[in-house]
Chain A
Amino acid sequence: MALAPMPDDQGALLSVEGLSKAFHGVAALSDVSLQLRAGEILALVGENGAGKSTLIKILTGVYAKDRGRILLDGAEVVPASPKEAFALGIGVIHQEFHLVPEMSAAENIFLGRQPHKSGPLGRLGAIDKARVLARSQQVLDELGGDFSAGTPVKNLGVGQQQLVEIAKALAFDARIVIMDEPTATLSSTDVAKLLDVMRRMKARGIGVVFITHRLEEIFSVADRVVVLRDGRNAGAGNAADLTVEQTIALMVGRHLDKLYPKEPAVIGDVVLSVERLSRGRLLRDLTFQLRRGEILGFAGLVGAKRTELMRALFGADGDVSGRILIDGKEVSMTGPEDAVRHGIGLVPEDRKLQGLILNMSIEANVSLPSLSRLTRWLAIVDRGRERALAADFVDRLRIKAQRVDQQVHFLSGGNQQKVVLAKWLALKPKILILDEPTRGVDVGAKAEIHALISRFAALGMGVIMVSSELPEILGMCDRVLVMSKGAITGEFTRDEATQEKIMACAISVVPVARSAA
């Protein structure tokens, strides 16, 4: 692929050279370099886990780098805290706002940095309110804001609140503004306005780093694109010279290997049928089926509402409309207990908060969903059977623990996730829902968990797997559904699916034709 040459260091406002960072021996960033010029919008793209956040956190002083250099106007800087980075002129706009709703826009902009009045009152801590208001209004006006700086933030719309966030950086002469997925929570009109604001910042000579998953935004506003993949530079170029397809290929271009030991499975009857499932504005009219022995993947970007769908299938949230049929019979899901009774298990997204009782034993965690089936006379728990069950799964899933009465708190992430798997497998479910089953799990345990999933599907279980890692979806699934903003926007068989096709559907907002009903 023809890539535009990197601009030389001359004139670079910010220059990152060979930046590396590892966490517990796992490389999050390896030798990443990029340049940002004044008055330039640089799009930083990559899949989840590609290293974007790590890079941003190093630039803003949250993490310390392991190796490499950060140059500001050609001079090396080492921001040791967000405050230091801010003082160097590096501002960050996060996806979620950090505003005090009761205070005015101006007060928020100057929060914690209020200028004091001159004279004796100022020395006693009196704040120069007139200056706060005037400077805030000036910055907001420059950004194209159409509201008074004295307006309480709670009375502002989402887009206006974001403007206040940006003004927080610009009021203190930030020269570099990093925008971390600023459009993820905005409506399309607010997005258009924000892109305008970015153009204004560019015109003022500010260097903007723009992180987004929506590629169409990049091509409408960015000057250059830097792609990260697996913590490394995967490519870069002028936005004008790149196509969406080329960018996607740079983002996902990995080969699959033994990390995905998918066994061929006999695909059986339909075990789960979902018809026109909706939940408010979150889930919109979802229809699909799952067969015995099948691993059905759900791909999509963060915010595609896949977790919400899984929770709806498990009865975890109310107000769901549509029909859910198990083995052809309609079931009502008033709570997770119904799902469990109908043979559905859920390995949730956040194992520590939702999947495990951390300060209880492996044994108690494994037996929790099936405890009422492990009783003898008078509802007394049969400790022998409980322990045997846990010991059996510790053995079969190769959970590395000293004893079954060890608290799960002390296990590694991979072994904790195996305990969550075990607690559902112990119930012999018909349907197993896995929400990001290998998030935060090291590579070795990841391959083991994949092998387990594959083996249990081969035994006739229907498996639904949500993953934000495309290679995992492609490597493990018999069929892939792609979601975007609460709707299904694509469907591919194992043979049809490619990363490019999935990404195209994941960033699309229009449901595309589906290959099979």
Chain B
Amino acid sequence: MSDHAIAGEPSLLSRVAAARELPTVVAIAVLALVIAIGNPSFLSLYNMQLLGKEVGVLGMMAIGEMVVIITGGIDLSAGAVVALTSVLAAMGLQAGIPVGLVVLGIVFVCVLIGLAHSFFINTVGLAPFIITLGTMSILRGVVLVLTTGYPVKITDPGFLLLGQGNLLGVPLQFILLIVVAVIAGVALTATPFGRYVYTIGNNPVATRLSGVRVSRVTTFAYVQASVLFGLGGLVYAARLGQGMPGIGNGLELSLIAAAVIGGTSITGGAGTVWGTAIGAVLISLIMNALNMLRVSYFWQDFVMGLVIVLAVMFDALNRKRRVAR
């Protein structure tokens, strides 16, 4: 809940017991135990690194999505942005552009996407889900036009490190998540900007009438989301060694699920970085479990959909209980 950020100092024990994340943590522990029993190689360093990579990239993007959701919006373009940026990066590298410039260029493109979202939402007045659904389709189209549907190979060893390298055994993308989480955590809980993100999600009218430039805050929310999705695209491209036109299909749903499982209110106004990060752990673990327990790939979408419906349902029930109180 939003008052996490501004609550007093109740005892640690009561805070743990009252935490919305508690059921998720329990679920993670139980699931990990089940998988480990079912397949001992779950605990291997290799699998742990694999899990760390998935949590890293998913968590980073889920934090971006969460900030948008807290303001009362939604961004459905994540998967398409990932596909676009992975392909653009591969094409840029093939054209011989230095890695640094490629990354800067991708960030620039993502900022433009975020600004476009903000323009259509704040100035034109479109519903966030409509405009981001639109860009999702538009960007997917752009990707297909650019690649005619074929993957684009990447050979630059420096770039591949981003998706394949480890530091002291920890995948670089997991470290990236930690960096993003710390910055986002501080920004959300300790700066005026972060406070506005929550107040806007709770009451945009009262926030505006308090002298806060609401559209500036929501603009930043959409821009940071696009940029984090773009970084996710770079990570995927580096991990796979190619820009994949079809990558990230349905990714936005996994991100929303991670945020909501972690206690983010789907209607806005509440959510924490920590909660979303463990939401991402649970989502990654479920995916990992399906692989480890040799469940058919075809069941993965089914399971993911089920998890999302359950997560949103619990959020709705929680809200009802709070209203009834």
Q: Take A339-B211, A363-B6, A405-B7 as given contacts and tell me if A372 and B192 are in contact as well, using a CB distance cutoff of 8 Å.
A: yes
Q: Take A360-B3, A403-B8, A405-B7 as given contacts and tell me if A381 and B195 are in contact as well, using a CB distance cutoff of 8 Å.
A: yes
Query: With an 8 A cutoff between CB atoms, is A361 at the interface?
Result: yes
Q: Take A380-B191, A405-B6 as given contacts and tell me if A341 and B211 are in contact as well, using a CB distance cutoff of 8 Å.
A: yes
Contacts of A356 in B (CB 8 A): 203, 206
Contacts of B2 in A (CB 8 A): 359-360
On whether the beta carbons of A337 and B191 are closer than 8 Å, the reply is no
Contacts of B7 in A (CB 8 A): 361, 405
Q: How far is the CA of A346 from the CA of B6 in the complex (A)?
A: 24
Chain A, Cβ-Cβ closest to B193: A379
Contacts of B199 in A (CB 8 A): 357, 360, 364, 368
On whether the beta carbons of A369 and B192 are closer than 8 Å, the reply is no
On whether the beta carbons of A407 and B3 are closer than 8 Å, the reply is yes
Query: With an 8 A cutoff between CB atoms, is B15 at the interface?
Result: no
Q: Take A353-B203, A353-B205, A381-B190 as given contacts and tell me if A359 and B269 are in contact as well, using a CB distance cutoff of 8 Å.
A: yes
Q: Take A364-B199, A405-B8 as given contacts and tell me if A357 and B211 are in contact as well, using a CB distance cutoff of 8 Å.
A: no
Query: With an 8 A cutoff between CB atoms, is A348 at the interface?
Result: yes
On whether the beta carbons of B211 and A340 are closer than 8 Å, the reply is yes
B81: min CB distance to chain A, Å: 28
On whether the beta carbons of B208 and A336 are closer than 8 Å, the reply is yes
The one of B191, B202, B211, B322 in contact with A360, judged by C-beta atoms closer than 8 angstroms, is B202
Q: Take A381-B190, A381-B191 as given contacts and tell me if A357 and B209 are in contact as well, using a CB distance cutoff of 8 Å.
A: no
Query: With an 8 A cutoff between CB atoms, is A335 at the interface?
Result: yes
Q: How far is the CA of A316 from the CA of B206 in the complex (A)?
A: 11
Query: With an 8 A cutoff between CB atoms, is A138 at the interface?
Result: no
B122: min CB distance to chain A, Å: 12
On whether the beta carbons of B3 and A361 are closer than 8 Å, the reply is yes
Within 8 A of B (CB), among A348-382: 348, 353-361, 363-364, 368-369, 371-372, 375, 379-381
B167: min CB distance to chain A, Å: 27
On whether the beta carbons of B206 and A371 are closer than 8 Å, the reply is no
Chain A interface main SS type: mixed
B199: min CB distance to chain A, Å: 5
Chain B, Cβ-Cβ closest to A356: B206
Query: With an 8 A cutoff between CB atoms, is A423 at the interface?
Result: yes
B183: min CB distance to chain A, Å: 11
Contacts of A368 in B (CB 8 A): 195, 199, 207, 210, 212
Q: How far is the CA of A363 from the CA of B3 in the complex (A)?
A: 11
Contacts of B8 in A (CB 8 A): 403, 405
Query: With an 8 A cutoff between CB atoms, is A298 at the interface?
Result: no
B189: min CB distance to chain A, Å: 9
Q: How far is the CA of A316 from the CA of B208 in the complex (A)?
A: 8
Mark contacts of B1-12 with chain A using CB atoms, 8 A cut-off: 1 yes-contact digit, 0 otherwise.
111001110000
Within 8 A of A (CB), among B165-210: 186, 190-193, 195-196, 198-199, 202-203, 205-210
The one of B1, B3, B191, B198 in contact with A379, judged by C-beta atoms closer than 8 angstroms, is B191
Contacts of B209 in A (CB 8 A): 314, 316, 336, 346, 348, 354-355
On whether the beta carbons of A405 and B3 are closer than 8 Å, the reply is yes
Contacts of B213 in A (CB 8 A): 335, 337
Interface residues of B (CB under 8 A from A): 1-3, 6-8, 186, 190-193, 195-196, 198-199, 202-203, 205-213, 269, 322
Q: List 13 A-B contacts (CB under 8 A).
A: A316-B209, A359-B1, A360-B202, A364-B6, A364-B199, A368-B195, A371-B195, A379-B193, A380-B186, A381-B190, A381-B192, A403-B8, A405-B7
